[in-house]
Amino acid sequence: MNRIPNIYHLAVITFKEGIRNRALIGVFIISLVMMVINVTFINFFMRDLGKVSVDLGLSTVSLAGLILVLFIGLNLISKDLDKKTIFLILSRSVSRTQYLLGKFAGLMGLIIVSMAIVGLVSFLSVLVIKSFLAGVFFAKGFSWWTYFLAWAMSVVSLMTLTAVGFLFCTLTSHVFVAMVITSLVYLIGQSLPHIQELVLARQQVLKVSDAMKVFIQILYYIMPNFSLFDLKLQAAHGLPVDPGHIFWAVLYGLVYTTVCLWLADLVFKKKEFV
């Protein structure tokens, strides 16, 4: 019974509630300042000015996205549990699955719109630098398409992180704990590929026990591999991006997100709202 409308209505209020959050304006202002800094930052460098400006532009997008997900996004679901706003929703003909999906959809809308704004600002700053300040210092292979891809993959990464956050929000129903654990998962997910590389290197730099190797290997497959979604260096240096990379990374993100939401749903269905 009206499954899709319920999800839609929930998504709408979640989006509106999020987009009017003052912290979001803070994020926008910070990114705007970063972009102004970008124009002066390139003066500290000699040759690879294009690369530096793209670095700063895309890193700001990622950073703004992280703040958005960890500090605003997770709050939007935790506050529902904390302040019991969820009673208003779950007392209606809304199932718990619909609630989770609606919240997630609203949050994704919020992330996409905010990232579009931050991304546009970052695009403009790099465009100004490329057109008026340092056009000759851009990599030969530089393309706006790769720049866009890097932005889009950032959004996929944030989607995966949001799903992870949802899982921990339902498990702990305590916003601070959920935020800390989600941040930890992000940090581990970003650096685990490097740790795995170190541990399994043919020429052993570190002495690691076999049990540890197995543990790292298992962890590598369980933890989300966020480094897959990072195309910033490719965009900065105009390196070619393999369509296969994009395909598999997006698929990975979607599967990971689905699994996290499914687990969150299982937990959520058992949950008691005392």
Partner 1 sequence: MAIEFENLTKVYQTGFRRKAVTALTNFSLAVEEGEVFGFLGLNGAGKSTAIKILLGLINPTSGRATIFGQPGSDPAARHRIGFLPENPYLYDHLNPNELVSFAAGVAGKNSRQVVSRGRELLERLDLAKVTTQPVRLFSKGMTQKMGFIMAIIHDPDVIILDEPMNGLDPLGRRIVADIITELHARSKTVFFSSHILNDVNRLCRRVAVIHRGSLHYLGRVDELYDGAFRYHIRLKGPASELTGVSAPLTGNMEYTELLCPQEELIPTIEKINNAKLMILSIEPEREELEDVFIRIVTEGQNEPNS
Partner 2 sequence: MNWRWVILIVILLAIQATSLTKLRIYYKQTEDIQRTIPLPPENFLKLIRLEFSGLLSDFIFIQAQETLGNRKTGEVTTETFNRVVSLNERTVAIDPYFLDPYYLAQALVWYSRGPEEIRRINQLLITGAEYRTWDSDLLFYAGFNHYFFLKEYRQAGDLFSQAAQIPGGWTGLAGLAAKMYHRGRDTAAGIILLKSMLLRTTDKEIRKYLEARLDQYQTMYYLESAVKVYQEKFLIPPRQIEDLVTAGIIPSLPVPPKGQKFYLDIQGNVDIEREAAAKNKGINK
Contact footprint for partner 1 (CB under 8 A): 1-2, 5-6, 8-10, 12-13, 16-17, 20-21, 83-85, 87-95, 98, 272-274
Phi, psi for residue 201 in degrees, rounded to 5: -60, 145
Backbone angles phi, psi at 142, to 5 degrees: -60, 130
- SS3 for 139? coil
Per partner kind, with CB cut-offs from 5 to 8 A, the member of partner 2, partner 1, none near residue 258 is none
Query: Residue 6 or 157: which CB sits closer to partner 2?
Result: 157
Among partner 1, partner 2, none, the one that 199 touches (CB under a kind-dependent 5 to 8 A) is: none
Is 37 an interacting residue with respect to partner 2 (CB under 8 A)?
no
List the single partner that 2 binds among partner 2, partner 1, none, CB under 5 to 8 Å by kind: partner 1
- The smaller minimum CB distance to partner 2, of residues 33 and 187, is found at 187
Site for partner 2 in 238-267 (CB under 8 A): 239
Q: Tell me how far the alpha carbon of residue 180 is from its chain's centroid.
A: 15
Asked whether position 56 contacts partner 2 by CB under 8 A, the answer is yes
Burial class of residue 186 (count of CB atoms within 10 Å of its CB; 0-12, 13-18, 19+): buried
Residues 6+ apart with CB under 8 A from 246: 149, 153
Cα–chain center distance at 71: 12
Q: Report if residue 45 touches partner 2, rule: CB under 8 A.
A: yes
Out of partner 1, partner 2, none, which partner does residue 274 contact, by CB within 5 to 8 A per kind?
Answer: partner 1
Q: How far is CA 131 from CA 39, 41, 74, in A?
A: 12, 16, 39
Q: Which residues contact 132 (CB under 8 A, 6 or more apart)?
A: none
CB of 15 to partner 2, least distance (A): 26
Nearest-angstrom CA–CA distance, 240 and 230:
14
Q: What SS3 class is residue 223?
A: coil
Residues that bind partner 2 (CB under 8 A): 41, 44-48, 51-52, 54-56, 58-59, 62-63, 140-141, 157, 186-187, 190-191, 194-195, 198, 205, 226-227, 229-230, 232-233, 236-237, 239
